Structure 1
Amino acid sequence: MTSRILIVDDVPTNRIILKVKLTAACYEATMAASGPEALALARRSPPDLILLDYAMPDMDGIAVCAALRADPATCRIPVIMFTNTADEAARISALRAGADDFLIKPIDDKVLMARIRNLMRARDTTGFSATTDAIEGLGFAEPVGGFDEPGHIALLAARPETALRWRKVLAPHLNDRLSVITRAAALEGAVPAPDLYILGAELDPGISGMQMMSDLRSRPDSCHAAICLVLPNDAHAEAATALDLGADDVLRDDFDGAEVAVRAQALIARKREADRRRARLAESLRLSMTDPLTGLHNRRYALPVLGRMLAGAVQARTSCAVMVLDLDRFKLVNDRHGHAAGDTVLVEVARRLSAGLRPGDLIARLGGEEFLIAMPGISDHEAFEAAERLRRAVSARQILLPSGGALSMTVSIGLALSATGYETPDRLIARADGALLAAKAEGRNQVTMGGRTAA
């Protein structure tokens, strides 16, 4: 699908030239001649990126950018602002208003296209955000904290005095921690890793900042950190390459501390938002596979895992034992003592069952008072003895209730072993469930396997 870029400029010639360049790069370009027109177009059909002129007579670029950021429908659209003058105050104002970059005309075509590609990749997190928002809307995820402390910025240069100069320039404008570190220290890893690395064009002899960036991106501790490369002012080709290879930003080697502080804050905020969403997504996935009451896996998780266990048993020419366990007369607990007591019983039974399993065994709550246990690589005799141990563990001690008092609980267990050939999880569970029904019919509090019982 072709990405759409909105060009906002009050000069027709400028709009046409940009459209020709974007069309040649296989982008779909639309145009607006004023700020109000741009806002209307962006709200009606949000583009993938906006190229915005700073100096427009009716509504300047800063006002347009601020309006875009204030509207939930347009707040995540990347914005590149451009101008004819190298006004440092204007650049800082634009970045503070929410512009992702501020370029001075004439703009190097390679740098512009690389920056567009760079922001398009960053924009992919919008789709990721929509996915996590949808998952959170289902109630799976809970708020994940711990991302609001001051940031940590690591400075790496070929000469320590260069990095110290960067720190001196940045320190008055930032509350974040600024650390001068070596390449070796960065690659050894830190916990937690810095939020942002600022790298010189050259580091150790024969090692460039771009190589260092690749090293950092390849390591789990630093792969999600923001990275800026400091390049010579005229290194347009290197800047374009750096952006294409994964740099989040490129800085001039005579950078202004106030401007870079604003850029750094935006990069740290974006990185932490991505961290937050990854944590939420991981928690959502965990909750989707976990029973919220007992903390055991649920049926959705258990069936595929059991399928892999059964396939492995066929390959290894061993058996896999499956138990379906049901608490005896559990309904009476809820009816006589309340659902809080029932929840307490389920949690404690889950704990006792889990304590009696081997590493690699599977336990899940199928629903209600029913549990599933799978034990790979086990004989029928060993499986029967294991089921008996679990049955006795449940009934061995009374369970204390939250309102006072205690209950004795028992469990009935249906046991089935996998056949010589592959057997589906559903069929094996059905056989174990049939054995469970036999255990219930024959008096409860017992293990049944293929018609054999023990009490």
Structure 2
Amino acid sequence: MAGRILIADNVPTNRIILKVKLASAFYDVSQATTGAGTLTQARAERPNLILLDVDLGDMSGFETCTRLKADPVTAHIPVAILTPAQNPEAKIAALKAGADEVLSKPLDELTLTARVRALMRASATSEELRRRNETAHALGFSEAHGHYEAPGKIILIGTTAEEAMGWRAGLKGMVHDEVAIERADHLLESIYHGDIADLYVISTGAGDGDGLRLISDLRAREATRDAGIVVVHGPQDRREALMALDLGANDLIVRGADPEEMALRLRSQMRRKKETDLLRLTLDEGLRLATRDKLTGLYNRHYALPHLDKIAREARESGQHFALMLIDVDRFKSVNDTWGHATGDAVLIEVARRLSDNLRSMDLVSRFGGEEFLICMPMTSLMEARAVAERMRAGICARPIALAPDQAPISISVSIGLAMGGDQGAATPDVDTLLAIADRALYAAKAEGRNQVTLGSYAA
């Protein structure tokens, strides 16, 4: 899904080349020519990613990055600094300034877009963390603490044990986390027995040259799905490195890099991993009880409405669109009347699970009341929203719900009303209007035969 990128460079040719490359990948691109302009635009536009040149005229890219990371409004936005080729000092300076990524010139299109995709994933997590904390604060609950004093754990998987030991020796005194070495062929067994790390550093040559398979294995397992993954590759392994990013690696390090660079990158990834953990634990038990539906475990109406307001406000500010859906279980009263309320509850739990399985972590899904659910998808086009809505509808009606061995499975369906919000000029509707549009579309779906998705008249 499209994201907004701010390019900052005082050389017009450089900006134009970057903009063409990114626009061809369907990103929305804006431009700044100075450090001061970058700071102003970043606050106003809240882009998903900022690309900084090292020289911005009035200040360096390093100073601009430091200021961006010091501002609470822009601190969560990933920043990549573009440095001259073969300049390790500039790379270290960029990482020390807080850059999330360092890209060396000249940039080829494949490397650029692969790096951008990885940073966009990081941006989505940070944005959702910030949004949920702000929603919790708006509801009167304290925000979660953002300090991570407890050390994490890093596991090193080299091509050989000697390579991993060399990494550990280089990191000594520069990271304060537990650092362990593991063989590639023992890694999955260790995970199975509960030896889980926050970060995994994997050589592309690990496991008889099949280090990329380890990335897929880590991402496929619940225990390590959210771990940070850093891949070490040779200068000649460009294709494997880019593939690693698309498989879910968070960062790349060229084999033989300065140990200080590795330490800085690992510290940055550890911070992001702790933020991801905080995303899941940010609301304490009292907040969870206040904002969660006790039956389905989804967010309730009390949480959904202020969170929806925040998504709508940010969409207006950024010029992006979002999708709003109201979903109702068809003929639910007959389920309760025929099989009883316990069966009806089981049906709602299963519907909630199937809806959640089709959504991203950044999407909002809540039980809005009775047998009705609300979904809000930020940064989503109409075409994408319709595809997701149809997938959810089909997924619910295609498989009857099995409740007990001695009871026949129950076939159900849902009707979905869809409305689109975001920057649509002076006529942009507010949240109440969007809810009314989605509600009318939902009733139209039921009137036209149920088990279908209907688009609200405003979005049409």
Q: TM-score, normalised by structure 1?
A: 0.61
Following TM superposition, by how much is the alpha carbon of 1:74 offset from its aligned partner in structure 2, in angstroms?
Answer: 1.4
Decide whether aligned partners of structure 1 residues 115 and 177 sit closer, same or farther in structure 2, where only a CA change above 3 A counts: same
1:240 corresponds in structure 2 to 242
Following TM superposition, by how much is the alpha carbon of 1:137 offset from its aligned partner in structure 2, in angstroms?
Answer: 3.6
Superposed, 1:33-72 pairs within 5 Å as 33-72=33-72
Decide whether aligned partners of structure 1 residues 10 and 288 sit closer, same or farther in structure 2, where only a CA change above 3 A counts: closer
Superposed, 1:3-82 pairs within 5 Å as 3-82=3-82
1:348-395, CA deviations, whole angstroms, 9 ceiling, x for partnerless residues?
A: xxxxxxxxxxxxxxxxxxxxxxxxxxxxx9xxxxxxxxxxxxxxxxxx
Equivalent of residue 193 in structure 1, options 196, 203, 225? 196
Distance (Å, rounded) in 2 between the aligned partners of 1:148 and 1:18: 39
Superposed, 1:231-380 pairs within 5 Å as 231-281=233-283, 283=285, 284-289=287-292, 315=339
Distance (Å, rounded) in 2 between the aligned partners of 1:319 and 1:9: 61
Unaligned runs of 5+ in 1: 292-297, 301-307, 321-376, 378-455
Decide whether aligned partners of structure 1 residues 193 and 34 sit closer, same or farther in structure 2, where only a CA change above 3 A counts: same
Contact 1:22 1:29 (8 Å CA) reproduced: yes
Contact 2:34 2:58 (8 Å CA) reproduced: yes
Superposed, 1:146-165 pairs within 5 Å as 148-165=149-166
Distance (Å, rounded) in 2 between the aligned partners of 1:314 and 1:171: 67
Following TM superposition, by how much is the alpha carbon of 1:57 offset from its aligned partner in structure 2, in angstroms?
Answer: 3.3
Distance (Å, rounded) in 1 between the aligned partners of 2:183 and 2:274: 24
Contact 1:141 1:280 (8 Å CA) reproduced: no
Decide whether aligned partners of structure 1 residues 317 and 209 sit closer, same or farther in structure 2, where only a CA change above 3 A counts: same
Decide whether aligned partners of structure 1 residues 175 and 60 sit closer, same or farther in structure 2, where only a CA change above 3 A counts: same
Distance (Å, rounded) in 2 between the aligned partners of 1:94 and 1:144: 27
Distance (Å, rounded) in 1 between the aligned partners of 2:292 and 2:65: 42
Q: Which AA in structure 1 matches 2:96?
A: R
1:212-267, CA deviations, whole angstroms, 9 ceiling, x for partnerless residues?
A: 01111111211111001111113222222111111000111112110110110110
Asked if 1:100 corresponds to 2:103, the answer is: no
Decide whether aligned partners of structure 1 residues 37 and 318 sit closer, same or farther in structure 2, where only a CA change above 3 A counts: closer
Distance (Å, rounded) in 2 between the aligned partners of 1:66 and 1:319: 56
2:372 corresponds in structure 1 to none
Distance (Å, rounded) in 2 between the aligned partners of 1:152 and 1:195: 5
Following TM superposition, by how much is the alpha carbon of 1:280 offset from its aligned partner in structure 2, in angstroms?
Answer: 2.2
2:118 alignment partner, SS class: helix
1:305-339, CA deviations, whole angstroms, 9 ceiling, x for partnerless residues?
A: xxx9x95995599999xxxxxxxxxxxxxxxxxxx
Following TM superposition, by how much is the alpha carbon of 1:183 offset from its aligned partner in structure 2, in angstroms?
Answer: 2.9
Contact 2:126 2:275 (8 Å CA) reproduced: no
Distance (Å, rounded) in 2 between the aligned partners of 1:178 and 1:44: 41
Distance (Å, rounded) in 2 between the aligned partners of 1:4 and 1:103: 19
2:168 corresponds in structure 1 to 167
Unaligned runs of 5+ in 2: 295-299, 303-331, 345-403, 405-460
1:22-50, CA deviations, whole angstroms, 9 ceiling, x for partnerless residues?
A: 12111122222211122222122222211
Decide whether aligned partners of structure 1 residues 201 and 27 sit closer, same or farther in structure 2, where only a CA change above 3 A counts: same
Contact 2:133 2:143 (8 Å CA) reproduced: no
1:399 corresponds in structure 2 to none
1:219 corresponds in structure 2 to 221
Following TM superposition, by how much is the alpha carbon of 1:80 offset from its aligned partner in structure 2, in angstroms?
Answer: 1.0
1:172 alignment partner, SS class: coil
Q: Which AA in structure 1 matches 2:56?
A: M
Which protein is bigger by CA-based radius of gyration?
A: 1
Following TM superposition, by how much is the alpha carbon of 1:182 offset from its aligned partner in structure 2, in angstroms?
Answer: 2.1
Decide whether aligned partners of structure 1 residues 127 and 58 sit closer, same or farther in structure 2, where only a CA change above 3 A counts: closer
Following TM superposition, by how much is the alpha carbon of 1:131 offset from its aligned partner in structure 2, in angstroms?
Answer: 2.5
Q: Percent identity between the aligned chains? A: 38
Equivalent of residue 232 in structure 2, options 227, 230, 233? 230
Q: Which AA in structure 1 matches 2:152?
A: G
1:173 alignment partner, SS class: coil
Distance (Å, rounded) in 1 between the aligned partners of 2:342 and 2:272: 51
Following TM superposition, by how much is the alpha carbon of 1:125 offset from its aligned partner in structure 2, in angstroms?
Answer: 1.2
Equivalent of residue 205 in structure 2, options 202, 206, 212? 202
2:172 alignment partner, SS class: helix
Distance (Å, rounded) in 1 between the aligned partners of 2:239 and 2:71: 36
1:118-140, CA deviations, whole angstroms, 9 ceiling, x for partnerless residues?
A: 11111111342102431354246
Which range moved further: 311-320 or 210-219?
311-320
Q: How many residues align?
A: 310
Distance (Å, rounded) in 2 between the aligned partners of 1:122 and 1:42: 17
Asked if 1:116 corresponds to 2:78, the answer is: no
1:270-322, CA deviations, whole angstroms, 9 ceiling, x for partnerless residues?
A: 1111101201247443453599xxxxxx9x9xxxxxxx9x95995599999xx
Distance (Å, rounded) in 2 between the aligned partners of 1:85 and 1:317: 67
Contact 1:55 1:83 (8 Å CA) reproduced: no
Decide whether aligned partners of structure 1 residues 179 and 125 sit closer, same or farther in structure 2, where only a CA change above 3 A counts: same
Distance (Å, rounded) in 1 between the aligned partners of 2:139 and 2:263: 38
Following TM superposition, by how much is the alpha carbon of 1:86 offset from its aligned partner in structure 2, in angstroms?
Answer: 2.7
Which range moved further: 282-291 or 12-21?
282-291
Distance (Å, rounded) in 2 between the aligned partners of 1:233 and 1:319: 59
Following TM superposition, by how much is the alpha carbon of 1:157 offset from its aligned partner in structure 2, in angstroms?
Answer: 1.9
Distance (Å, rounded) in 1 between the aligned partners of 2:342 and 2:75: 58
Contact 1:62 1:93 (8 Å CA) reproduced: yes
Distance (Å, rounded) in 2 between the aligned partners of 1:78 and 1:48: 7
Q: Which AA in structure 2 matches 1:23?
A: A
1:244 alignment partner, SS class: helix
Following TM superposition, by how much is the alpha carbon of 1:186 offset from its aligned partner in structure 2, in angstroms?
Answer: 2.5
Q: CA RMSD in A?
A: 3.4
Decide whether aligned partners of structure 1 residues 231 and 19 sit closer, same or farther in structure 2, where only a CA change above 3 A counts: same
Decide whether aligned partners of structure 1 residues 131 and 143 sit closer, same or farther in structure 2, where only a CA change above 3 A counts: closer
